[in-house]
Amino acid sequence: MNQNSYLILSAAMFSIGAIGVLVRRNPLVMFMCVELMLNAVNLSFVSFSRSLGNVDGQVIVVFVMVVAAAEVVVGLAIVLSIMRRRPGANADDLTMLRG
């Protein structure tokens, strides 16, 4: 296994995640896609870290995971409170904040 394989996998995960965020309308699925993108980046960090022999990349991964966890907490809370006010889960319908 050389580094290229990791990077190709990472790029594929990132693209799937990005397309998922753009095309799906369910907020929960969009969250999962965001997680996918974050983990794709994590993967490339770890692979670079290993090939360059520098632990900095692995340190960053820990940070990213912490931030992702926090983001999910806030995001899920928002989704939950929206669900309480109105039924259904469609991101396109949530346009109350338009200018």
Partner 1 sequence: MEHLIWLIPALPLVGFGIQLVGGRRLGDPRAGWVATGMVAASFLASVAVFFDLLSRSEEERSITQTLFQWIPVGNLRIGMGFLADPLSITMCLFVTGIGSLIHLYSIGYMKGDPRYSKFFLYLNLFIFSMLMLVLGENLLVTFLGWEGVGACSYFLIAFWHTDTANASAGKKAFITNRVGDWGFMLATFLTWTVVGSLNYSDINAAAVGGSITGVTATAIVVLFLVAATGKSAQLPLFVWLPDAMAGPTPVSALIHAATMVTSGVYLLVRLNPLLFEAGWANDAIAWVGAITALVAATIAISQNDIKKVLAYSTVSQLGFLFLAVGTGNYVAAIFHMVTHAFFKALLFLGSGSVIHGMAHDQDMRHYGNLRRYMPITAGTFIVGWLAIAGVPPFSGFWSKDEILAGAWSFGPSGKVLWFIGLVTALMTAFYMTRQVVMTFFGTERWREVELDPAHAATDPANAAHADEHDHHGLTPDHEPHESPWTMTVPLVVLAGLATVGGVLNLPFADGLHFLEHWLDPVIVHPHELPAVPTLVVLAGLATLGALLGIVLAGAVYVRRQVDPSLIEREVFAKGWYIDWAYSWFTGGPGRDAFDATARFDQTVVDGAVNGTAALVQRAGVRSRRLQSGQVRGYALGIAVGAVLMVGYFMTRMGF
Q: How far apart are CA 14 and CA 68, in angstroms?
A: 15
Beta-carbon contacts of 40 under 8 Å, excluding residues fewer than 6 positions away, are 10, 11, 12, 13, 14, 17
Decide if residue 94 touches partner 1 (CB under 8 A): yes
Stretch that binds partner 1, among 18-26, 50-58, 63-71, 76-84 (CB under 8 A): 18-26
Decide if residue 85 touches partner 1 (CB under 8 A): no
Question: Cβ closer to partner 1: 52 or 59?
Answer: 52
Determine which residue in the list 18, 36, 68, 72 makes contact with partner 1, applying CB under 8 A: 18
Q: How far apart are CA 23 and CA 41, in angstroms?
A: 21
